[in-house]
Structure formats: structure tokens, C-alpha cells
Structure 1
């Protein structure tokens, strides 16, 4: 039986559910630089060894690599859920070399979407790379959103690759033309938006999202890149119509379900604005059909199914490495 360690920075609720299927050995490596350095120094004196280390995100690689240097038989599997590999081309030369060096110790990858797998494959096609979609952990299937409202929702943190700033610009374009839309920004994303408009509601972190799921009609995620945000699944669970870019992990799912009309050609404000108007002009019957489809799709990606899939993929990956 393999001795497996899960190293994490929280962990994300979904990642924790995945890890529970394979091991009870968890190690918190920290979620900021001082914590990571402190815990890394502590680990120098830790003599425990493991056959396999599953690492949540790139920030945990230094700890895992140190373990592998001390015990070369250790295998490292990276749960590729962040922007680390996507960001490689834009890193300065020192950071890029450091990251590539750390990634060279990784024996296999589990991405959280085909999108993330494709990006990892551009650099590491000589290593096994699998994927498992996450699931919405704050679903609200009992809610039926207001499909006739002109309220738009975005949920996310302050990472600028999510491009909520372009969404603000898009709604500004619409309201300057008299469309009277409201935009609700939920999460730490609000810290990056200085603009103040009567239609812009900077809600910040919210424990309960039901209020927004009830009153909004569209969920828009215009990211430059987002590997597979669970907020898209969660918004879909209440029937919200999602509008996302092709660089959001769920785009493959929408495409497979013949819902390519919900995928933006690009994330320029004018394009986003045009798509909002296009969706808003559809009749209620069309919206209800799309809404129901989105609910059904979201229900397919649940804790039970995806945790089971993760365990299966993890075991298959172990055999390859």
C-alpha cells in the first residue's frame, strides 16, 4: 500500500474532497510567502518519507521537492488548478528558471479541466497529464433565478486574469446607451475596482450567495484564463445563464452540450456588451430552456461523481509513473 501525503494551502474545499479519497496524511505548507518559508525551514528537519506527494498548486512545490531530494524514490503529482504554468511565458527570467526547475521534479499532473491539461501539455508532454473537473460546492438547485432581470453577477477573487474590470467597462457601455443593467461583484475582486457608479454594486465577500442567484439572470466570467472556476457551476445550479470566454475551463463542457452561443469570441468590453444584449433579447421560453440545461449540466458535476473520478484518475496516474 502506497504511503501518500497531501500538501495543501487551505485547502480548497473541492481539492480537500479529492484528497480525502486517497489519504489521511495532510500537511499545510502555507498560503503566503512568510508561512511557506517558515514551514519549509521546519520541514528540513522532518525525516518522514512518502511514496507519493499530491501537491495542491505550485506554491507547494518547494516543500515537495525538498522531500524528493531527501528521498529520490518519492513521486510528485501536481494538482494543477492554478495559473502557474499559464503564467510561465510572462515571468521574469529568474522566476521562470526557478519554476521550471521545480516543475522538473514533478512526475505527473492532474489538471482540473481539459483547458489546463492542454496548457500543461505544451511544456510537459513527456509526462503523464490527466484531468478531473471540479464541482460547485455552494450549489443552489432549489433556486430559480429571475431570467427577466437586468442584474448581472460576477463572483471571484482579485486575480486580474479573471478580467472583471472588462465586465465593468462592458456594463458601462450598455448603460451609456440606456439599457439600465446592474452589475454585482462578489468577492475580493472589488478591491481592484476604484470606479463608482449607481449601477455597480461592490458586494465583497459574502457567505451566502442565494440572494444574488435569485435576482440575477446572467453570470459573466470574461477571464483571460481561469482553469475551471467552481463559481460557474454554482451559478448554473440556480439557472443563471453563464457567459464565459473559451479560456475558462467550463467552455469545453458548454461546447460539448451545443451551448457554444454562451462562449465569448473574445473578452473585449464591446464584445461582452453585445453578448449581454443578444442574451437579453431572447424570448423567455428560450431562456428557460437554456437555464434548465445549465441546471442539469451543473448537477452532473457533484462531490460524489467527481471525487470518485479523481480517485480513479489518481490511481491510473500512479501506475504510469
Structure 2
């Protein structure tokens, strides 16, 4: 039995024997749990944006006229960064000046062999990086939520995410077209479409992104968690 399968079996055993209800981090996860555990009450509450970042993110002025995308996160297989990097040449076929910055640890330097791709690694100031971009892309194969998406939106960056990313529930409120299948061709298609938009259209999406991201404050999400917890308790007690 593989390590991952052993962990999954242990988790299933724990949930079945010691858990009466669950609060997931996204609709994506809660939908899965409801199928997996149909007799258990399930709710969901998304993570909040770090209070220490909120004020700084609100001051950002991303370069919306540019053709520069960014990704923020660790270099883990489920994040799907390789999908985006391997397909970036298809973006450059339509937009030769398009650039992709990858921020975060554990990304292979070999990504920079792809024209237009820059691996930044760890950066001291995330706000500076977001200020230089015009688009955020999260190409995950699977990601329960990804707070980096809502952080980018709070900075005024429209985000393109896969339908297997929990933060899609925030992105689709800006534009449902920004939620795509976790397939290179689909991600590229939407990136190219975005880069073809006029600046005034991008600005509209930027402002909408900020508005939606403001809903993910610590206060609002803590209140939401309290409500979800009480709902679960009510279901268990009924």
C-alpha cells in the first residue's frame, strides 16, 4: 500500500469513528465530502486573508496594461505549475512579449529555459511582485482553496483558476470564464483571451476582484465559521 493510500485510509477511519460533522475550506471540498460521507453534516468556510497583508494589498496598483502573469506558491505537483510553464510557448505564439513570473520555493530553475518564464523563488515583498503583474494564474490539478488567489484579487489582479481549485467560488463571481478545466490548452486559451482585452475591461475586472476579495476578511470568515459550527451542532443534536 502506498504512503498516500495509507494516509487516506487512516483519515477515513478517523472520520468514520471520531467525527460527527465537518467544516471544509471550500465548496469544492464540501461537495466531495458529502458524496464520501452522505450521512454526516458538512459545511464550508473559506480561509481569510492575512490581516497583516490586507492594508498593503489594498494599496497595490497592478500593471493592467501589461501582458505579465504571475503565480505564487510552493512548487508542488498538485499546484500544476508545470502545466502552465510547459504551455507558455503557446501564449507567446499569440502574445510574443508575454511574461510569466513564478514566486515561491521549490520550483525548478529549468523552468527558465522556457522563453518568457522567470523563477523568482522566495520574495521578501509579495506586494511588489503583484504590483508588476496584470494577471494571476493558478493552474492547480487540485487545490482545496489557495489563499494566494484571493490575496491576488485583493491586490486588484484578476485571477484565472482551474475548476479543481477551491478558490474558484471567489473567481467565478468576477467572471465565470476565468474558471477553466485543469488542461493546458484551456488555461492558455483563457490567458490569451485576457491578454486581448482592452485596459478598461481589465480595470473593471480588477475592481470587481478587489470587491470580492474584501469579503474574505478575518472578521467575516470567523463569523462565518461560528455560524457553520452552530449549524453543524444543530444537525448533530437534532
RMSD: 2.0
TM-score, with normalisation over the residues of structure 1?
Answer: 0.66
Give the Å deviation of 1:176.
Answer: 5.2
Larger RCO, structures 1/2 (Cα 8 Å, 6+ apart): 2
Mapping of 1:1-321 within 5 angstroms?
Answer: 91-92=4-5, 94-104=6-16, 105-137=18-50, 138-139=53-54, 140-175=57-92, 179-191=96-108, 194-197=110-113, 199-255=116-172, 257=173, 259-264=175-180, 266-321=181-236
Cα distance in 1 for residues equivalent to 2:207 and 2:190: 20
Q: Count the aligned residue pairs.
A: 228
User: Structure 1 residues 232, 96: closer, same or farther in 2, change over 3 A?
Assistant: closer
Give the 4+ runs in structure 1 shifted more than 4 A: none
Classify the secondary structure of the residue corresponding to 2:47: coil
Give the Å deviation of 1:259.
Answer: 1.1
Higher helix share: 2
Give the Å deviation of 1:136.
Answer: 2.0
Cα distance in 2 for residues equivalent to 1:95 and 1:301: 31
TM-score, with normalisation over the residues of structure 2?
Answer: 0.87
User: Structure 1 residues 230, 126: closer, same or farther in 2, change over 3 A?
Assistant: same
Q: Which blocks of at least 5 consecutive residues in structure 1 are unaligned?
A: 1-89
- Equivalent residue number for residue 56 of structure 1: none
Question: 8 Å contact 1:228–1:250 — kept in the other structure?
Answer: yes
Classify the secondary structure of the residue corresponding to 2:111: coil
Q: Which blocks of at least 5 consecutive residues in structure 2 are unaligned?
A: none
Classify the secondary structure of the residue corresponding to 1:157: coil
Classify the secondary structure of the residue corresponding to 1:161: helix
Question: 8 Å contact 1:237–1:298 — kept in the other structure?
Answer: yes
* Structure number with bigger Rg: 1
